[in-house]
Structure 1
Amino acid sequence: MKRLLFLSLILLIVVAMQAQDTTDVKVLTKKLVEVTEDAEHSEVSLLNDRINIRDNYHGDTTNIRVGRRNIEIVEGDHKTYVNIRREDRWGDDSEWRDHKRKRFNGHWSGLELGVNGLAKADYGLYGAGADEFMELDQPKSLEVNLNFIEYNISLKDERVGLVTGMGFSMNNYRFDNQLTIDKAEDGLVRPFPVAEDNFEKSKLVVSYLTVPLMLEFQVPVNGKSNQLFISGGMVGGINLGSHTKIKADNSKTKDRGSFNINPFKYAAVARVGLKDISLYATYSLAPLFKDDKGPELFPFSIGISLINF
C-alpha cells in the first residue's frame, strides 16, 4: 500500500533519455529537471536553471547555485567544508519566498547535508564466507538534498498540516576498502579490486528525484516568536542515474551504469527543528539493489537542513 501511494505521486513524471547522456524529467509538458553527464562532469539543472548543481569528476567540489546563493561543498581528506556566498548577478531571490503561505507553513524546501549508511546487510546470494564488500567509510558517505518545490495543506488551527513537494537527492556511498563494484557476467553486482597505485578513495553515487508526504505539527515557543516543529511520513523517489568514481595516483576515473539500482525507493522520514533549523532522518523500506541482483541493503541517512528557502 505504501509503495502504491508513492508510485501514484510520481505517475505524472516523464523521464526522457536524450543524446549526449542527458536525462529530462517533466511533469506533463513542463521540464523540471535536466541531468547531463559527460567524461568531465555531471550537471543538474532544476526549474529552467533557477537551481544548478555541478559535480566535476576531476575535483572534490560540488557547486550549487540557488537564486543569489552559491554553495560550495568541498570533500577534503579529513573534513567536508561548506562555503556559502551571495551573488548579485543572479537577481532578486525574493521569488523563492513567495510560495510560503501566510497560514500553515511546513518545512521541506531547502538545502540539506547528511550522512548515508546501509542497514540489515544480507549477502546470502554470494555464498558462505562472502566479504561484505559494501562496507562504508560512513563519515565520508555524504548525502546532498536540494528540495526545490514545497506545497502545504493546513488541517487545523494553522499549526497542523500536510507537506509535499519535490526534491533532488544525491547519495554518495564511500567504500571502506580498495575496491569498486560492477555487474558481473552472472548479472550480480560484485566487487572488483582497484589495483591502482596511490589509491585514495572509491565510491558509488546514486541520484533521485524525490516526492514527500509528511504530517507536521508546530508548537509556538518563546512567546510565539519561534516555533518547534515535528513531522513524519514517507518520501518516494525515482532513480535518475548512478556512477562509480575512483581517485588514485593523482587521477580520477568514472563509470556510469545502472549497477542494478532499484528504479524506485520509498523511505520513512522524521524531522524535528526550531524555526528554520532542523534535523532529519530517513530509513528506506526498499533495498538499494534490485531483488536477487545484489546484496540486500537498506539505506538510511541522518542530516541537517542548512538553508530554508
Structure 2
Amino acid sequence: MKKLVLIMIACIPTLGLLAAEVEPMPADTIVKFNNKSIEVSENGDRMKVKVYEYTDEDGAVENELVFEGHYRNGQSYERRKHFKSLSITIPSWDNKFDPHWAGFGMGFANFSGQNGVNDVDGVSLRSSSSLEYNLNFMEFAYPFSQYRWAVVTGVGLRWSRYRLDMDAHFQEINGITVLVPAPEGISYKTSKLNITSLTVPVLLEWQSTRHRRKTPRLFVSGGVEAVVKTISSSKIIYYDLDGRKRKDKMDRGMNIRPVTMDFLLQFGVGCIGVYAKYSPMGLFEKDKGPKVHPVSLGFHLHI
C-alpha cells in the first residue's frame, strides 16, 4: 500500500504536464505583417477577421480598420472601409531601353516615280536645295523581349521644302494641281513647294547589349509613319521687269493628301542615326496632280 501511494505521488507532475499540453488555444489570434495587423477571433460557430493598417503621421501612430469579415454557418459577410492603393508589377525586360525617335533631324528630300528619283512626271527638283527638317518632341517605348526588342511610338513635326529646278510653280487650276510656267520675261530665282506635317510613328527597334563600360549601343529600327498635313503652300521669288525683288505666295492646299504614310528605316550608334523614308502613296490626290512619291535621306540627333 505504501508503495502504491509513492507511485501516485510521483505521477502527479506528469499529469500536470499532460494537462498543460491539451489546454485549448486562445480564441483570439493576432498576426502582424509589415504595417498591418490581422486579428482573428472565434466565438462558438462564429468567426471574425479584422485587418488594421498602421500609419505614422507627425509622430503619432494610428491603426485604421481597412477590412472586416464575418463567417457563420457557411455564410460570409465582408466590409472594406477604404481602398488605398493597388500595385501591379508589369514585367519589363529592359528598364533602361532608350528609344530612338525624339530629337532633331535633317535630310535631303526628293520625288520618286516609275523612272527613278527626280525628273518624275515633268517635275524636276534641285536636289541639293530640297530639304526636310524633323523635330520629334515626344516618344514612348514598350520593351517586349529579353533580346532587346521594343515597340516605339511618339509625335513629331516635319517641314518639307521642295525647290523646283525650273521656271514654273505649282498651282491648282480647275481642281487639278499643275506646273504653271513663269510669265514671259520673268525668271524665278526660287520656286518652292512647302509642306508642314504632323508625324506619328509605329516602329520596331532592336538594340545591342548594354556594356559595363557604357559604350554606345547599336540600334536598328523600322516601321511605318503616319503623316498628317497641316499647312502647304507654293511660293516664288523673282525680280520683276523693273528690277524689284518680289515674293509671292501663289497657292495653298493644292490637292495634297491630308493623310498619308511613309516607310521608315533608321540605324545608328548611341544618339546619332541615319534614316531613309519612302512614301508608297502619291503626294497629290489621285488624278489631281503629278504622280510623285516623296523620298528622303538624312541624319538624326536623338535626345
- Bin for the TM-score computed over the shorter chain: 0.5 to 0.7
Matched residue, 2:109: 116
Q: How many residues align?
A: 200
* Alignment of structure 1 residues 178-193 onto 2, 5 Å: 178-185=167-174, 187-193=175-181
Choose 194-203 or 208-217, whichever is displaced more: 194-203
Q: Which of the numbers 281, 286, 302 marks the counterpart of 2:276?
A: 281
Q: Which of the numbers 263, 269, 274 marks the counterpart of 2:264?
A: 269
CA contact (8 A) 1:153 1:162 kept: yes
Partner Cα distance (1:226, 1:220) in 2: 10
* Alignment of structure 1 residues 196-207 onto 2, 5 Å: 197=186, 199-207=188-196
Matched residue, 2:293: 298
Partner Cα distance (1:171, 1:121) in 2: 22
Partner Cα distance (1:198, 1:285) in 2: 34
Q: How many Å apart are 1:235 and its aligned residue?
A: 0.2
**1:95-144 residue CA offsets vs partner (Å, 9 max, x unmatched):** xxxxxx9521110001110111111158xxxxxxxx94321111111001
**1:231-275 residue CA offsets vs partner (Å, 9 max, x unmatched):** 000000111010011111233212341101011111110001000
The 1:151/1:221 distance shift into structure 2, 3 A limit, reads: closer
AA of the residue aligned to 1:225? T
AA of the residue aligned to 1:146? L
RMSD over aligned CA atoms reads 2.2
The 1:198/1:179 distance shift into structure 2, 3 A limit, reads: closer
Q: How many Å apart are 1:150 and its aligned residue?
A: 0.4
Partner Cα distance (2:181, 2:276) in 1: 32
Q: Which of the numbers 220, 226, 230 marks the counterpart of 1:240?
A: 230
CA contact (8 A) 2:106 2:299 kept: yes
Asked if 1:228 corresponds to 2:221, the answer is no
Matched residue, 2:54: none
Bigger Rg over Cα: 2
Partner Cα distance (1:256, 1:143) in 2: 20
Partner Cα distance (1:256, 1:148) in 2: 30
Normalised by the length of structure 1, the TM-score is 0.61
Partner Cα distance (2:292, 2:121) in 1: 11
AA of the residue aligned to 1:105? D
AA of the residue aligned to 2:204? L
**1:167-206 residue CA offsets vs partner (Å, 9 max, x unmatched):** 1111111111011011112x22111112364531101011
For residue 139 of structure 1, give the secondary structure of its aligned residue in structure 2: helix
Q: Which of the numbers 160, 164, 189 marks the counterpart of 1:171?
A: 160
Matched residue, 1:82: none
Q: Which runs of 5+ in 1 are unaligned?
A: 1-100, 123-130
CA contact (8 A) 2:198 2:227 kept: yes
- Percent identity, aligned pairs only, is 32
Q: Which runs of 5+ in 2 are unaligned?
A: 1-93, 240-244
Asked if 1:104 corresponds to 2:92, the answer is no
CA contact (8 A) 1:121 1:298 kept: no
Matched residue, 1:208: 197
Matched residue, 1:4: none
Normalised by the length of structure 2, the TM-score is 0.62
Runs of 4+ in 1 over 2 A off after TM superposition: 195-199, 220-224
Matched residue, 1:194: 182
CA contact (8 A) 1:238 1:264 kept: yes
Partner Cα distance (2:188, 2:263) in 1: 36
CA contact (8 A) 1:228 1:274 kept: yes
CA contact (8 A) 1:103 1:154 kept: no
Partner Cα distance (2:140, 2:247) in 1: 40
